[in-house]
Amino acid sequence: MSIDLKTIKHISKLSRISVDEKKAEKLAGDLNSIFEFIEKLNELKTDNVEPLTSVAETTLKLRPDEVKSKNIREQIVKNSPQDNEDYFVVPKVIE
């Protein structure tokens, strides 16, 4: 299997990371060598193996659905690059 530039462009779009031609070529090279290494897993037959989704074999605890953090609006927007009163500000999305 080989990851071509078209695939790199596709993944870059999915992951919302802009990639120019030069970077795309470097990434294709790196990803191909990493996937070559990952292909080793195909040596194993795993048809009847249950996938492991969590190492902790416990069921999640339930808790009452209560509001615990009150009046923290200021804290929530404190680190935003741009905000206006209680809102995050982003580039215009509606024409």
**Site residues (CB under 8 A) for other proteins?**
3, 7-8, 10-12, 14-19, 27, 30-31, 33-34, 37-44, 46, 49-56, 58, 60-61, 63, 72, 75, 78-82, 88, 90-93
Shortest reach from residue 67's CB to other proteins, in Å: 15
| Structure tokens that stand for 15 in this block | 């992951």
Count the helix, strand and coil residues of the chain and give each as a percent rounded to the nearest 5: 40, 5, 55
Q: How far apart are CA 86 and CA 72, in angstroms?
A: 10
Shortest reach from residue 25's CB to other proteins, in Å: 13
